[in-house]
Structure formats: C-alpha cells, structure tokens
Structure 1
Amino acid sequence: MNSQDKIKLERIPFEGMSIDEAKVRYRAQELTLKYNQIASNNLTERYDILKELLGSVHPDIIIESNFHCDNGKNIFIGKNFFANFNLTILDVDKVTIGDNVLIAPNVQLITVTHPLNVKERNTWKLITAPIVIGDNVWLGAGVIVLPGVTIGNNSVIGAGSIVTKNISANTLAFGTPCREMRQIPQD
C-alpha cells in the first residue's frame, strides 16, 4: 500500500493533483471522449473501451453517452448494468456497483470532497471515501451519492435525492437529504 492509499483509508486530506494522478485523469478523459463518440449500438467497441478504462466490467454493460469519470480504474461494475444518459463518477476512491443495477439520467457518484479549512482547501487537498451500490438497486434521475455511502441490496433511491448516509437493504428512500421512507416487500 502506498502512502496515498494509506491516507485515503484514514480519511486524512491528501495531495490529489500529483503528476501521476493527472496522467490517470487525462487517460480517463481521452477514453471517455472516445467512448462517448461511438454509436450506442456499437456494443463491442464500447465494451472494449470500458474494459480498458474501468477496474472491472462485464460484457452485458450498457452506459449511455455522455459518461464521465475521474480515473476509471477505481470503478468496479457487476453484471447486467444499465446507466442512462450523463452518468458522472468521480472515482478518486473506489466505487463498487453490484449486479442488476439501473441508473437513470444525470446521476452523480462522488467519492471525493475538500477540507472545510480554507488553508488546506487552497492547496488542493482532497478527502475521499468509497461508495458501494448493492445488487438490484435503482437510482432515479438526478440522484447524487456522496462520499462514504453504501446503498443496500434491492433499494430504490427516488429522483433528485442527495444521498449523504447509508441506505438499508430493501428500502425506498428519497429526499434532500435522502431519508429511508419504507421497506420494499421482497417476493
């Protein structure tokens, strides 16, 4: 484990704009630009780019354009995944997405924030925490998931929600901030 990985685990602000980090970001930008220019019915070519870009992916993935991410290598996506238009994943930390996940348009998964202290913030320090999306989850249009959140299996997050805390499995949750409203019966 390198020193930046150790700092991420401890949730201590770290310098995130190093030359190495910039190279990874530029590579991700090049690959997502290429991906977004390929016709959506050209599944083979799109999958080949996602294999190169992401940490792990399965052949049955569909991500509509436009797709954006910071690094790509920190994104791990399960089987039978669909994301509609304008998915943004700021994957400075790990993003794990389970099987059978549906993501509506304009969803943002954000693993990074900045310190509140202005002196630290002005030095481009970053604070990161991973995001975990369980199996069979549906994120409605415009949902924003913030650093450190886990969304449990079989849950539904309503459109426009800002998810700041963990959501239990089998739960309907929505709002700003997102709150658990009721359990979803499972057959």
Structure 2
Amino acid sequence: MNEVEKMRSAQLADMSAPEIQVKFVHAKKLLAKMRGMSTYDDGYRTLLEELVPGIPDSSVICPPFHCDHGDGIRLGENVFVNANCTFLDGGYITIGAHTLVGPCVQIYTPHHPMDYVERRGTKEYAYPVTIGEDCWIGGGAVICPGVTIGSRCVIGAGSVVTKDVPDDCVVAGNPARAIH
C-alpha cells in the first residue's frame, strides 16, 4: 500500500512521500491560477473540474478556495460552497446533494499523532468527513476529522463540530451541541 492509499484509508501516512507531495503541489498550482478569478471568469470552471474531478455541473465552489489535494472532495448535485472555505482533504470529504456551505467554513481530515515526539515527524492520519444531503453549514463553522453529519442538519455559524450529528438536527456552539 503506498502512502496515498494509507492516507485515504485513515492509516498513518508519511506526508513527505513523493506521491503525496506531487498531488499537493498540483492542487496548489491550480489554486494559485484560480486566485482572483470569479466563478464567471472563462477558465475558472475548467480549473475547478481539474482540481475536484467529478464535480457535478450543478455544484459550485466560490473562490477563494483552499484545499490540500482536491481529488479527495466528493460533492453531490446542487452543492454550494461559499467563498473562503478550506477543505483539508487528505481523507475523503463527501458532501451530499443540495447542501449549502457558508463562507469561511473549514473541514479538516488530518489528525496528528498525540505523542509529541511522533508529532515532530512527517506522519499523520486523515479521517474522512461526511455531510449528508440538504444540510446547511453556517459560516465559519469548523468540522473536525472523522465527523459524520446526517441529512437535513443545520450547523450554526461559528460552531466547532467534534462529534457525529444524527439526521434532522440543529447544532451550535463550541463544541457543537444539539439545540433543536
């Protein structure tokens, strides 16, 4: 199993491995080209489709946007990702159809070793994040590694989601808790 396969399967992976670095550099070059463009500029959509392979025609990611790899992002139909979002997609980030992601939302999959000596190295885990259909993720929310958010959920603006959220919940706060 190579380091990319380890990373995508939540195993300890060496982030300095050439096969991971190539993907990282490719994404950063595409993002640099996209910086300053609008969703209406010629070429923006072409670059976005190269960054996030398989993005549905009906889904939008507004610039500026930041990610680690791009090919770890899986979007359903009619997903809207507002400006200034950061998706660290070492692990897969899956977002269901008709979900709205507010500005400045951060979705993290990387998880560093808890032992400080191990943390000095170049290895880390990446735990997938899954968001169901018809959700609304409020601006500035942070979704932590390994979290699954069910369908039809609302995540309050500025919330930090550290644990799974079942279907049909409204959560808010730090850490996010059910409020409805």
Q: TM-score range by the shorter chain?
A: over 0.9
Matches for 1:60-139 after TM superposition, within 5 Å: 60-139=58-137
Does the 8 A contact of 2:6 with 2:12 survive in 1? no
Residues 7 and 82 of structure 1: CA distance in aligned 2, closer, same or farther (over 3 Å): closer
**CA deviation after TM superposition for structure 1 residue 7, in Å:** 6.8
**CA deviation after TM superposition for structure 1 residue 13, in Å:** 2.7
Q: Give 2:23's aligned residue.
A: 24
Aligned match for 2:143, one of 142, 145, 152: 145
Residues 80 and 8 of structure 1: CA distance in aligned 2, closer, same or farther (over 3 Å): closer
User: Matched residues in 2 for 1:64 and 1:81: separation?
Assistant: 11
Does the 8 A contact of 2:102 with 2:137 survive in 1? yes
TM-score normalised by L of structure 2: 0.93
Root-mean-square deviation over aligned CA pairs = 1.6
SS at match of 2:21: helix
Residues 106 and 132 of structure 1: CA distance in aligned 2, closer, same or farther (over 3 Å): same
> Structure 2: 5+ residue runs without aligned partners?
none
Moved more, 91-100 or 53-62: 53-62
Q: Percent identity?
A: 33
Q: Give 1:185's aligned residue.
A: none
Does the 8 A contact of 1:68 with 1:89 survive in 2? yes
Q: Give 2:35's aligned residue.
A: 36
User: Matched residues in 2 for 1:57 and 1:178: separation?
Assistant: 29
User: Matched residues in 1 for 2:121 and 2:162: separation?
Assistant: 25
SS at match of 2:70: coil
The AA in structure 2 aligned to 1:98 is: G
Does the 8 A contact of 2:7 with 2:91 survive in 1? no
> Structure 1: 5+ residue runs without aligned partners?
183-187
**CA deviation after TM superposition for structure 1 residue 61, in Å:** 1.9
Does the 8 A contact of 1:47 with 1:59 survive in 2? no
Moved more, 53-62 or 129-138: 53-62
Q: Give 2:50's aligned residue.
A: 52
1:13 aligns with 2:12: yes
